[in-house]
Structure 1
Amino acid sequence: MTELSTASPDARVAIAGAVKPRRFGAWYVAEHRFRVMRSYLQTVLMTAFGYPLLYLFAMGIGLGSLVSHNLGDEGVDGVSYLAFVAPALLCTAAVTIASEEFTYPVMLGFKWNPTFYGMNAAPIAPGQIIDGIVISVVARLLAASIIYYAVMLLFGAVPLPTGFLAIPVAVLGGLAFGVPVMAYVATLEQDTGQLAMLMRFVLLPMTLFSGTFFPLSSMPPFLQWIGWISPLWHSTELARVFTYGSPEPIWLTITHVLYLSALFVGFWMWTRRIAARRLNK
């Protein structure tokens, strides 16, 4: 208090101006990310509206008609193939969006255009930078999932009124995959192909072997473990419980929630520590 009273007028102004950034730093970072998203707004809108229309029509209607012709209208898990695959496509879209927002923008802030260092030089802590990124991605995931769910309703792919709960499930699933990816990217000093390999050898196999387009039980036992550790499988199975009442024991439903939450929260806290160590050295 004595130091503040003896400080110069300019110093007092600077200290007073730093109060709000210290308190709401994460929201300032999120606002920055929203403004950056405007530079690729067309891509954001195309993926938000184009993905559900394209994939639901191609997989749910196109491939679904072949599945129904061979197995009947309720041949997959007791429902139509459209109802079976729709929540999986919703969760896959969320994971894909999260993989986009938690890779190159994070690498950009740390390395290519090191804005994170500028933010850290201001009264914004490294943890707030990570929090702001997470807030911005949650907002995009939520908006995209709502649009995707609305298209699912138009296609008649949600038999139960509890289907809207698939929206937060998809968001949580996207975060459970994306935040660990962010933690990994935050440790990279150079991108020599790691991000491309991440998409090719992690995201793509996870999409194919997580019970998205066919039940996990139909896969060979030596491949089913990929689904068991995959955030996409857990979010997809949980979304199916809400959209059409997929039969599963309550302990498994609780496991889905706990597993996804643990991945999200655990790696979020870890990324905050990585950012603090990297930006303050």
Structure 2
Amino acid sequence: MSALALREFRYWMLRYRRTWRGTIVINVLNPLLFLFAMGAGLGPLVDRHAGPATLHGVGFLAFFAPGMLAAASMQNAVTESTRAVFTAIRPGGSYRSATAGPLGPEDVLAGHVLFMAFRLAVSAACFTAALLCFPSLRTAGLLWLVPAALLTGLAFAAPLTAWSATLETPAPMMHVFRFVIMPMYMFSGVFFPVDQVPVALRYVIYGTPLWHGTELCRGLFLGTAAPAALLGHTAYLAALTVLGLLMARRTYRRRLFA
């Protein structure tokens, strides 16, 4: 990380100091309220009528909480890596001002991605801290949730950053959110085990980053996943992050030197 990239990071932090109150509701409170509603409302009903046997031997809240964290990290990553990047890279955007000075495209990219990682980590830490309100969730696995959620978010943020930098209009963002992000949110194992869906759909789900993120967070939290499975999920998410960053570096060079 170069000193010039840290300048870009400080720019985004300065912006965040002025806007953080507005992001609290979307990035932190919404997932937490959903967690409390599901845990206190739906959770006991599921445990009473379905039982732990349908949720791999744990109660609904313990099953749902790490999955919800992975899904929240995905949503936060989408928010940070789409419209903000699209606006910044357009003529008159902050990227153009930065590269008119000493910063290069790689510095702008690195600084902004570092800020995205900061936002993802803070949101994940707030979510994890809220889990302490539930005595049944106070386990050693809580310590692993923040890095697992951070990696999950970066696996979305890096490719979406590369893609958002290529857009000429914001319309495709809504299509991606509606037809890609929301189906993943509903069917990637956050709310129920994937083995309950038809086999054909199951193999599609296995290829999604949210399923890997959910399984990584849940496996680390519950301590039930095999080391090989955890390594596989981590490698998948890390590879997607690295590939996204490489694509973004190429896209930023092309757009900002145009």
Scaled by the length of structure 2, what TM-score is found?
Answer: 0.94
**Cα distance in 2, alignment partners of residues 229 and 75 from structure 1:** 23
Aligned match of 2:39 in 56, 60, 73?
60
- The Cα shift of 1:41 comes to 1.6
Q: In structure 2, do the counterparts of structure 1 residues 254 and 200 end up closer, same or farther at CA, with 3 Å as the change threshold? A: same
- The Cα shift of 1:74 comes to 6.1
The more displaced of 65-74 and 236-245 is 65-74
Q: Give the letter aligned to residue 85 of structure 1.
A: F
Q: Is the 8 A contact 2:213 2:233 kept in 1?
A: yes
Q: Aligned Cα RMSD in Å?
A: 1.8
1:205 aligns with 2:183: yes
Segments of structure 2 that go 5 or more residues without pairing to the other structure are: none
1:264 alignment partner in structure 2: 241
Structure with bigger gyration radius: 1
1:255 alignment partner in structure 2: 232
Q: Is the 8 A contact 1:145 1:167 kept in 2?
A: yes
Q: Give the letter aligned to residue 268 of structure 1.
A: L
Q: Is the 8 A contact 1:234 1:256 kept in 2?
A: yes
Segments of structure 1 that go 5 or more residues without pairing to the other structure are: 1-21
1:72 alignment partner in structure 2: 51
Q: How does 1:1-281 map to 2 (within 5 A)?
A: 23-72=2-51, 75-111=54-90, 113-158=92-137, 160-191=139-170, 193-246=171-224, 248-281=225-258
Q: Is the 8 A contact 2:66 2:214 kept in 1?
A: yes
Q: Is the 8 A contact 1:68 1:75 kept in 2?
A: no
SS at match of 1:154: coil
Q: Give the letter aligned to residue 232 of structure 1.
A: L
- The Cα shift of 1:139 comes to 0.7
Superposed CA deviations along residues 166-211 of structure 1, whole A, max 9, x for unmatched, are 11000100110121111111111223x1011111111101101111
Q: Give the letter aligned to residue 88 of structure 2.
A: G
Identity fraction in percent: 33
**Cα distance in 2, alignment partners of residues 50 and 113 from structure 1:** 33
**Cα distance in 1, alignment partners of residues 247 and 22 from structure 2:** 30
SS at match of 1:229: coil
**Cα distance in 2, alignment partners of residues 86 and 226 from structure 1:** 23
**Cα distance in 2, alignment partners of residues 200 and 138 from structure 1:** 24
Q: Is the 8 A contact 2:131 2:138 kept in 1?
A: no
